[in-house]
């Protein structure tokens, strides 16, 4: 089976073609560098994403936050449910941990901004 993907590792956005047999990637083409090959193999085995979103603060504003490392794509909805239940007390500094080990992914939700 052929799977078509767009590499998101850099802004070039190469169109990748992965030959997949069962759970194994046999060949990747269309990549302009090795990172595209690694991306296609990882994306097919277990897609991951860095989650960026906002969380409500105690004064009603929204604080931009993100995961400190990529998390499995299929857990993003569950993570969003947990984030949406939170309210953050200000002040907050960039990099402060808002939620530790969210949904047991090993990733923390951290602040992307200083906010008073
Ligand atoms: S394959 Fe390489 S050059 Fe192409 S988008 Fe991915 S990282 Fe960029």
Ligand 1 center to 14 CA (angstroms)? 6
H or E segment and range at residue 1: none
Rounded CA separation 76/54 (Å)? 14
Domain ranges of the chain: 2-45, 52-111
Nearest CA to ligand 1 atom 1: 36
Q: Is the CB of 45 under 6 A from ligand 1?
A: no
Please name the CATH architecture into which domain 52-111 falls: Roll (3.10)
- Segment 67-91 mean pLDDT: 97
**Secondary structure of 50-114 as H, E, C letters:** CCEEEEEECCCCEEEEEECCCEEHHHHHHHHHHHHCCEECCCECCCCEEECCHHHCCCCEEECCC
6-63 confidence digits (pLDDT tens): 999 999 999 999 999 987 899 999 999 999 999 999 999 989 999 999 999 999 999 9
The answer to whether the Cα torsion of 82, 83, 86, 88 is positive or negative is: positive
């Amino acid at each position: 089976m052929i799977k078509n993907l767009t590499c998101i590792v850099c802004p070039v956005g190469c169109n990748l073609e992965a030959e997949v047999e069962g759970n194994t990637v046999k060949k990747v083409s269309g990549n302009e560098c090795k990172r595209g090959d690694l991306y296609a193999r990882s994306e097919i085995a277990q897609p991951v994403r860095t989650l960026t979103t906002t969380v409500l603060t105690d004064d009603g504003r929204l604080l931009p936050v993100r995961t400190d490392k990529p998390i499995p794509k299929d857990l993003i909805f569950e993570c969003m449910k947990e984030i949406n239940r939170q309210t953050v007390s200000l002040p907050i500094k960039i990099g402060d941990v808002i939620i530790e080990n969210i949904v047991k992914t090993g990733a923390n939700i951290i602040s992307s901004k200083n906010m008073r």
